[in-house]
Structure 1
């Protein structure tokens, strides 16, 4: 098996060389995380597919959930038991990270997938269709470093697909939007440029939007279990329960992810301005450089909304999301301060050589 078919290239070879300089002299092998099952990972290597787990030393060096290996990561492995399984000693620097905040009040990052070139944002053309929700997904995509592409699935169930496509294009200027139907086989040729050899795509969207069906359709095999949605509200169930990576017939790599009931954004790295590009453009024409676009005189954004040039609902969602991200960033900053303060306290004495602690630290 060649790692190139899983996306290995000269860039990863360079990162691999740099990473090895920081490690000891034992023999290591490269692998890519293909499945995350909690304490164990499915890993693809040149010798084939195997199970891996974190070394004690590596696990103890991680300060947050966002530093743990994720599906799509390239990792450093030490083979065990003649190559039957592996121990993970590190992660190569990522070129893209698709993140969200974990559900609930916990202030933790959850990585959906890493090292993705194109992120398919999937929305079904039934009651799942929601432009405002797609704006949130676009922020996540732009923040990740991956290129967003919107897929409107289940076109066979929709009588006004072109209208909805135009509505989505208006809300996502510059982002490719494709209408597809796995049942009818429509739209596959439009997706070919994204799934070429060595190219990694990931699918994300709400439960029941058709992500697993898309994986099966593009692969030509029943790789993922699918279920029907409820007729009353088109809501789906969590058919996919974990993130997993597959190789497509054309040589591309695709990552399926569990459906999201709710997308809580993690942080903003310019994604808000990119997702609401026309508001950012209008803001440059405001009288005041620190204009909040809420009540100021000479606000070009408010004037555009009043005249109908800018959709009022889109401006409302912009303000709502902006406040959410500001609140999220303040919580994250407080958490970092608490963590830094805790780390300055004196650490407990290390166990003596030969104890269980040394075993964990060394392996």
Structure 2
């Protein structure tokens, strides 16, 4: 894509404040293929009166962004500075997928003057010792969790990604890539079924970029919206992006033979236009994905555990040693896999610890709850040993 910074021929960019009908608000806007609609147009209306252009951020790199903006013949890509929207809040920094009010300027770069309100945002805990979140992409409709079948299926990782996807406001979808490498084709349905069990209510597709299997169904599921590809390095995200777009737009490197891990072939988050309509955001591989205030996302990922918990004797049952625990009873009967409960506990604890780092009151509540459980544990131990006075 070419970059330019001259004035635009887009007729709706410099109207007076009394003008209410502009091409930016029209369904025929050249930005419609990038996800522009009447809702975003309404948010942008105050900026249109200032002579600014609507634009979508398609790439972020070292304080500069590539953004698509409308012009007389369609859309063009400009390089824009983000200094006016610089912030110390990591959740409010510009990210791929954001819609913005852009000043085309008269110099070599345009300028991002404001970000439009986000509808959805995918956030993870930052990979640092600081208690802060990192926003990965914004204004998403679908979050595609990409999992390679060339390595053992890690259902815990699937549950982690799906929880964050639900929490973002987007709809998760799991793509099991490299389906062609599964040695026993009859085993593929079992892998799909196991993944569906780890992500209740989520569409799971087995796909192969090498053979084209499943790509038509996946393309249809993503058409018309904004999707993001998520997964670890080597999962096949860039290969999948190339297959969906029908061109080698993303670099692809082979997975290392010695450990099956991939290299970071994608180093930025790039927004790409899909042939069938809609856009796709390819992201760098994520070695670790920490929870970030994902209580609702966890509840939707573990609906089976939550439904069982509703029948526990105690409303605050921790599903460990409490009498009358319906969840533990389901594990004993085989109705619920013990691995599933262990994963639920792990992610819930991680999420609570993260929140407690930034919420003093919750931190005090967790400390009090922990002391009560310690006292209960001592009490039950004494009763069991017959040493209680």
Aligning the two structures, in what range does the TM-score lie when normalised by the shorter sequence?
0.7 to 0.9
Larger radius of gyration: 2
Residue in 2 aligned with 1:31? 55
| Coordinate RMSD, CA, aligned | 1.9
Residue in 2 aligned with 1:178? 205
* Change in 2 beyond 3 A, CA 1:261/1:128: farther
Residue in 1 aligned with 2:38? 10
The correspondence of residues 304-315 of structure 1 with structure 2, limited to 5 A, is: 304-315=330-341
Residues 180-220 of structure 1 show CA distances to partners (whole Å, capped at 9, x for unaligned) of: 000001111211332323x1111000100000001100001
The correspondence of residues 109-258 of structure 1 with structure 2, limited to 5 A, is: 109-127=133-151, 129-159=153-183, 160-197=187-224, 199-258=225-284
**Larger relative contact order, structure 1 or 2 (CA cutoff 8 Å, min sep 6):** 1
* Change in 2 beyond 3 A, CA 1:20/1:128: farther
* Number of aligned positions between the proteins: 328
Cα distance in 1 between the residues matched to 2:231 and 2:223: 22
Cα distance in 1 between the residues matched to 2:188 and 2:128: 35
Residues 227-250 of structure 1 show CA distances to partners (whole Å, capped at 9, x for unaligned) of: 111223321111111101000111
Shift in Å, 1:11: 1.2
Residues 24-79 of structure 1 show CA distances to partners (whole Å, capped at 9, x for unaligned) of: x63211100000102100111003101111234x32xx341110111000001111
Equivalent position to 2:298, from 272, 281, 291: 272
What SS is found at the alignment partner of 1:89? strand
CA contact (8 A) 1:194 1:201 kept: no
Cα distance in 1 between the residues matched to 2:359 and 2:152: 35
Cα distance in 2 between the residues matched to 1:145 and 1:14: 21
Residues 137-189 of structure 1 show CA distances to partners (whole Å, capped at 9, x for unaligned) of: 01100100000000000011112322211111111111100000000011112
Equivalent position to 1:70, from 83, 88, 95: 95
Residue in 1 aligned with 2:13? none
Cα distance in 2 between the residues matched to 1:151 and 1:117: 16
Gaps of 5+ in 2: 1-28, 364-389
CA contact (8 A) 2:199 2:301 kept: yes
Shift in Å, 1:85: 2.8
Q: TM-score, normalised by structure 1?
A: 0.87
CA contact (8 A) 2:295 2:351 kept: no
Cα distance in 2 between the residues matched to 1:300 and 1:233: 41
What SS is found at the alignment partner of 1:305? helix
